[in-house]
Structure 1
Amino acid sequence: MRTFLARLAGARTDERAWRIGAVGEGKVAAQLEKLRAHDPRWRFLHAVPVGQRGSDIDHVAIGPAGVFTLNAKHHPGARIWITDEEFFVNGRWRPYIRNSRHEAARASRLLSRACGFQVRVRALIVPVRPGALTVKRPPVDLDVVRRQRVARWLAHQPHALPTAIIEEIFAHARRSTTWQP
């Protein structure tokens, strides 16, 4: 009943934030499926649980261009402003750049350990349905790509991995034990 009343009043609740986030992640997953339809070498994992504290990676993409962690950020109608180190939503700082860097570094470490060779992972932040997106200075070690452009962006990255390595990394990435420290 509380959730229903909060929803009617438009109040911010953990449940509402989770639901909005889940919708955004679903929209990003749909874009990734378009990429797979165009190039079946791409492999994806969604909502990958990492560690013991309830953390997860929204999406892991493994394909010809390499390995990427995608952090979907669904802020419908919001004004998003980004510099190399800062991410603001409607004027409020959010730790998305720091968190995305951490996710990619953690994924690289865990996948490298599981595969037995160095797996480089690049972070992407994927804004979903922002009202405005301004990137003053892009971060140098991660990319910010709108949801509508993410499939095309990944498809146009230089090829770095042969098909056999894509399959090997994906085989390890699919195992839950890979993501436990």
Structure 2
Amino acid sequence: MTIKVQEHQKEALALLRKHLGNDLSVGPAPATASAPPSASRAPQSMTPEGRQPAERPAVLPPLSASEDLARNRPGAKLLGLIAERGPSTAQRLRAKLLRQSSEWDSWYTGLGGEQKVGRELERLSSLGWRTLHGIEKSNGGDIDHLLIGPGGVFNINTKTHKGATVWVGDAMTKVNGGQPHPYGAASKAESDYVRRVLRRYCAFDVPVAPVLVFVGVASLHRAATQNGIRVYQEREVSALGPLTGKLTSEQVEAVYAAARHRGAWLRT
């Protein structure tokens, strides 16, 4: 990525680090011209289809129960945080009886949203789709849901805004007309991350596309997007079910087998 207007560099990097991790670094701007390919590297052999041959995929160790992400429930990341640092049952009951808000309310709201979307995604299993939840990334974040099937791979980001009016543009989203949130940009970056991880362990190109799912909103306005992000409400994710033509059934199982390994996603 090149930041052409230097006075915006600090603000842009702060936004990127918020979603991609603090290890993001800035290198020099790319040169305007480069040496001819023949001068920089030796020619490589090509496949009959005119593509460079794929590198041999990395081999994963045998899958153990502790490493198997298929055991994760929807909202696994939030469930872990709540169990570790959340309020006790007595504290939750007291806050409910007194109708008091707490710092944990947003966590429980987000958990409920992920669980709703998870239930909708599991309905697609009869159509040949596989689903994983709460995949921890190497930068400390997580992928809410990963859907793998005949229509390709979709990284699904769940956002819960009860009763809100939501407007979604190419990179930014506004909730009730407030400050823009970079949901689209973050989902697109997450797709790139998923593609890099799966390419490392699969012997074929894996098509990955981002999906934003809004839970509990009163209305959802989708602007004409140019970046290939699908935008749904929770009950609309079933639209992914009939998609086909991207992966064979054998490829679906190969991608799913690699994606289930927790360690595959934590390798930097």
Same fold (TM over 0.5): yes
Could you tell me whether the CA contact under 8 Å between 1:28 and 1:147 is conserved in 2? yes
Q: Offset at 1:177?
A: 1.6
Aligned partner of 1:110 in structure 2 is: 197
Could you tell me whether the CA contact under 8 Å between 2:171 and 2:183 is conserved in 1? no
Could you tell me whether the CA contact under 8 Å between 1:108 and 1:121 is conserved in 2? yes
Residues in 2 aligned to 1:129 and 1:159: alpha-carbon distance in whole angstroms: 32
Q: Secondary structure at the match of 1:117?
A: coil
How many residue pairs end up in the alignment? 175
Residues in 2 aligned to 1:62 and 1:136: alpha-carbon distance in whole angstroms: 27
Q: Which runs of structure 2 are paired with 1:147-158 in the superposition (5 Å)? A: 147-151=234-238, 153-158=239-244
Aligned partner of 1:31 in structure 2 is: 120
Q: Offset at 1:89?
A: 1.0
Aligned partner of 2:68 in structure 1 is: none
Among candidates 135, 138, 144, match of residue 222 of structure 2: 135
Could you tell me whether the CA contact under 8 Å between 1:83 and 1:139 is conserved in 2? no
Aligned partner of 2:99 in structure 1 is: 8
Residues in 2 aligned to 1:8 and 1:110: alpha-carbon distance in whole angstroms: 45
Q: Offset at 1:71?
A: 0.4
Residues in 2 aligned to 1:102 and 1:136: alpha-carbon distance in whole angstroms: 20
Among candidates 10, 13, 18, match of residue 107 of structure 2: 18
1:68-121 Cα offsets, whole Å, 9 max, x none, are 000011111111011222211112211211111111110010111122432221
Give 5+ residue unaligned stretches, structure 1: none
Q: Offset at 1:5?
A: 4.4
Q: Offset at 1:125?
A: 0.2
Aligned partner of 2:42 in structure 1 is: none
Q: Offset at 1:25?
A: 0.5
Q: Offset at 1:17?
A: 1.4
TM-score if structure 1 supplies the norm length?
0.88
Give the strand-richer structure, 1 or 2.
1
Cα–Cα, structure 1 residues 16 and 139, in superposed 2: closer, same or farther, change >3 Å? farther
Aligned partner of 2:147 in structure 1 is: 61
Q: Secondary structure at the match of 2:206?
A: coil
Larger RCO, structures 1/2 (Cα 8 Å, 6+ apart): 1
Tell which structure's C-alpha radius of gyration is larger. Answer: 2
Q: Offset at 1:24?
A: 0.4
Among candidates 94, 97, 100, match of residue 181 of structure 2: 94
Residues in 2 aligned to 1:101 and 1:85: alpha-carbon distance in whole angstroms: 9
Q: Secondary structure at the match of 2:105?
A: helix
Give 5+ residue unaligned stretches, structure 2: 1-86
Q: Offset at 1:35?
A: 1.3
Does residue 1:161 correspond to 2:247, yes or no?
A: yes
Q: Secondary structure at the match of 1:94?
A: coil
Q: Offset at 1:139?
A: 4.3
Q: Give the aligned CA root-mean-square deviation in angstroms.
A: 1.9
Q: Secondary structure at the match of 2:111?
A: helix
1:8-36 Cα offsets, whole Å, 9 max, x none, are 3335x2x2212111110000010011111
Letter in 1 for 2:101: G
